[in-house]
């Protein structure tokens, strides 16, 4: 057992002693079962990169079962990387330490950032050597094997519904949907389940998916592989693979080298891709409806609701009460013109006072600029924008502005190069950075001055084009 999350352990009524026991390591590395566990893998299909890929399924995820805790909450435990399942196809069902550290750290970091996500209970090494061609370039190597135990109310994906629909098995599709609503959406139940219930359910899935993507936009998260088999029916961020965090703000950025040509899943595409995925879910459940009109109108609402939620989120990031389209559009284009660190920029913005001058504002946010010659460029790029922003602050500030902004704009995110440093050390058996990073990311909105220099710093130059920091693949 390399690491565990005490917060997730608590959700499962597990004590620290439980987590440090040998049995814990045995169970959560996939070597032992305890009474009541009935492992199973799920069957699902999916649209990958825009095309129907047929049956996929849990190729290396194994559900151990559900736990109902003392508060009556129901949690599913799932091992990722514990070996072959009936859906492994030609692959090995295993996971490597590199990607397991990434999944473990990011699940918990996202939770503490307030982003809906699956959780991670534990990270165990297996002792296996796993053969991986990290960049699919003909240079495979052995890597350490590892298993993460993920925890969520359910791991059902859009693809679980698509597979039965594509097969024309409408009876099982209906059974699955009725089970999903009864178990995970009981507040939607009335006397009987009918198409009105299905429609309300679809509305709620759209709503939750929208909220999740708005959070991703808020914190600078790029999922990397938004295939419909990686979309949670509960609107949780799921399947941490080649994800990444924006450093310099570029909406066209994706860390996923498999997507290098089309940037389908780039940061700025995520809202419209979520919409497309919801359309695929609507098509999957359409056989349960007479006509698609009502589903279509819920889908149309998604676009409107997303826009309004995104605007509210941007207002909170800026500390303003009302949305000004030209101010925000101009801000986003300026962030792109000069390579500007998104996280540092928004965090520093809270330090600006309405009485400041534009020159002073530029000084305040200058730690966010990547270009060393910012002093010559910044005034022409930023002066007008700051003058406009200062005007807004005078008439249009939210109450307790600094507080609101600092609860919206994190100081600490899981910077790509930081997780890579933690991985490099973990690969040599040194877990100190992994544990320290894990702890810092529990309080992403706090100042933590003693952690700032190492964990809130701009990406160093060496990390700009380094594998693992800016380039990742689905190989994990």
Which residues here bind Mg ion, judged by CB under 5 A?
A: 230, 239
Listed residue (126, 164, 148) closest to 42, CA to CA: 164
Asked if 58 touches ligand AMP (CB under 6 A), the answer is: yes
Asked if 108 touches ligand AMP (CB under 6 A), the answer is: no
Which phi and psi angles does 52 have, rounded to 5°? -65, 125
Asked if 50 touches ligand AMP (CB under 6 A), the answer is: no
If contact means CB under 5 to 8 A according to the sort of partner, which of Mg ion, ligand AMP, none does residue 211 touch? none
Asked if 474 touches ligand AMP (CB under 6 A), the answer is: yes
Q: What is the DSSP letter of 99?
A: H
If contact means CB under 5 to 8 A according to the sort of partner, which of ligand AMP, Mg ion, none does residue 92 touch? ligand AMP
Instruction: Determine the interface stretch with ligand AMP among 85-93, 167-175, 318-326, 399-407 (rule: CB under 6 A).
Output: 85-93
Cα torsion for 417, 337, 211, 287, to the nearest 10°? -100
Q: What element of type H or E holds 149?
A: strand 141-152
Q: How far apart are CA 347 and CA 456, in angstroms?
A: 11
Asked if 59 touches ligand AMP (CB under 6 A), the answer is: yes
Kindly write out the interface string for residues 9-48 of this chain, putting x where it contacts ligand AMP by CB under 6 A and - elsewhere.
Answer: ----------------------------------------
Asked if 180 touches ligand AMP (CB under 6 A), the answer is: no
Cα-Cα end-to-end distance for the chain? 19
Asked if 398 touches ligand AMP (CB under 6 A), the answer is: no
Rg (CA), the chain: 23
Half-sphere exposure of 165 (CA within 13 A, CB side): 20
Q: Are strands 51-55 and 119-132 parallel, antiparallel or unpaired?
A: unpaired
Q: How far apart are CA 420 and CA 274, in angstroms?
A: 28
Among positions 57, 224, 255, 444, the unique one binding ligand AMP when judged by CB under 6 A: 57
Q: Which residue is nearest to ligand AMP (CB)?
A: 59
Listed residue (357, 384, 468, 467) closest to 419, CA to CA: 468
Residue 475 falls in which region: left (phi positive, over 0), alpha (psi -120 to 50) or beta: beta
Asked if 335 touches ligand AMP (CB under 6 A), the answer is: no
Among positions 9, 82, 94, 281, the unique one binding ligand AMP when judged by CB under 6 A: 94
If contact means CB under 5 to 8 A according to the sort of partner, which of ligand AMP, Mg ion, none does residue 474 touch? ligand AMP
Q: What element of type H or E holds 454?
A: helix 449-455
Residues 400 and 411 sit within 8 Å (Cβ to Cβ): no
- How far is residue 81 from each of residues 27, 156, 411, 470, 471, measured CA to CA in Å? 13, 18, 32, 24, 22
Least gap, CB of 11 to Mg ion (angstroms)? 23
Asked if 116 touches ligand AMP (CB under 6 A), the answer is: no
- Active-site amino acid positions: 229
What are the residues whose beta carbons fall under 8 Å from the beta carbon of 307, sequence distance 6 or more? Answer: none
Least gap, CB of 149 to ligand AMP (angstroms)? 16
Among positions 143, 203, 239, 341, the unique one binding ligand AMP when judged by CB under 6 A: 239
Half-sphere exposure of 385 (CA within 13 A, CB side): 21
Nearest to ligand AMP of 93, 319 (CB atom): 93
Asked if 361 touches ligand AMP (CB under 6 A), the answer is: no
Asked if 128 touches ligand AMP (CB under 6 A), the answer is: no
CA 22 to chain centre: 31
Asked if 332 touches ligand AMP (CB under 6 A), the answer is: no
Q: How far apart are CA 303 and CA 226, in angstroms?
A: 18
Among positions 91, 170, 303, 467, the unique one binding ligand AMP when judged by CB under 6 A: 91
Instruction: Determine the interface stretch with ligand AMP among 89-97, 193-201, 246-254, 344-352 (rule: CB under 6 A).
Output: 89-97
Least gap, CB of 343 to Mg ion (angstroms)? 27
* Contact positions vs ligand AMP (CB under 6 A): 56-60, 88, 91-94, 225, 230, 239, 241, 474
């Amino acid at each position: 057992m390399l690491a565990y999350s005490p917060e997730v352990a608590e959700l499962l009524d597990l004590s620290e002693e439980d987590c440090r026991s040998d049995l814990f390591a045995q169970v959560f590395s996939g070597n032992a079962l305890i009474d009541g566990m009935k492992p199973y893998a799920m069957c699902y299909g999916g649209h990958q990169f825009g095309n129907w890929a047929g049956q996929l399924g849990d190729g290396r995820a194994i559900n151990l079962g559900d736990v109902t805790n003392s508060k009556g909450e129901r949690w599913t435990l799932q091992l990722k990387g514990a070996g072959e399942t009936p859906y492994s196809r030609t692959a090995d069902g295993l996971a490597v330490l590199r990607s397991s550290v990434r999944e473990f750290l990011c699940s918990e970091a996202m939770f503490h950032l307030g982003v809906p996500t699956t959780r991670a209970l534990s990270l165990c090494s297996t002792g296996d050597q796993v053969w991986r061609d990290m960049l699919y370039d003909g240079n495979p190597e052995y890597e350490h094997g590892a298993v993460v135990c993920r925890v969520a109310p359910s791991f059902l994906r859009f693809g679980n519904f698509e597979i039965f629909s594509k097969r024309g098995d409408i009876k099982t599709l209906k059974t699955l949907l009725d089970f999903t609503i009864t178990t995970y959406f009981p507040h939607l139940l009335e006397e009987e389940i009918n198409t009105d219930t299905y429609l309300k359910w679809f509305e709620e899935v759209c709503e939750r998916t929208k909220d999740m993507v708005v959070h991703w936009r808020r914190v600078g998260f790029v999922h990397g592989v938004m295939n419909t088999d990686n979309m949670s029916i509960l609107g949780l961020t799921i399947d941490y693979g080649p994800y990444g965090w924006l450093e310099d703000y570029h909406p066209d950025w994706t860390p996923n080298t498999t997507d290098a040509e089309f940037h389908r899943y780039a940061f700025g595409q995520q809202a419209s891709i979520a919409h497309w995925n919801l359309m695929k879910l609507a098509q999957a459940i359409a056989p349960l409806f007479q006509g698609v009109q009502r589903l279509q109108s819920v889908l149309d609402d998604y676009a409107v609701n997303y826009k309004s939620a995104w605007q509210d989120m941007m207002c909170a990031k800026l500390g303003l009460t009302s949305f000004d389209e030209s101010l925000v559009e101009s801000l986003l284009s300026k962030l792109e013109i000069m390579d500007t660190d998104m996280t540092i920029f928004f965090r520093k913005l809270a330090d600006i006072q309405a009485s400041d001058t534009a020159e002073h504002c530029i000084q305040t946010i200058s730690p966010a600029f990547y270009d060393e010659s910012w002093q010559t460029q910044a005034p022409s790029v930023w002066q007008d924008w700051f003058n406009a922003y200062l005007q807004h602050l005078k008439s249009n500030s939210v109450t307790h502005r600094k507080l609101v902004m600092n609860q919206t704009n994190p100081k600490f995110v899981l910077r790509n190069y930081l997780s890579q440093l933690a991985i490099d050390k973990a690969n040599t058996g040194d877990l100190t950075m992994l544990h320290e990073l894990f702890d810092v990311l529990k309080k992403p909105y706090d100042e933590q001055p003693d952690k700032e220099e190492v964990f809130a710093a701009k990406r160093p130059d060496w990390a700009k084009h380094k594998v693992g920091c800016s380039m990742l693949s689905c190989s994990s």
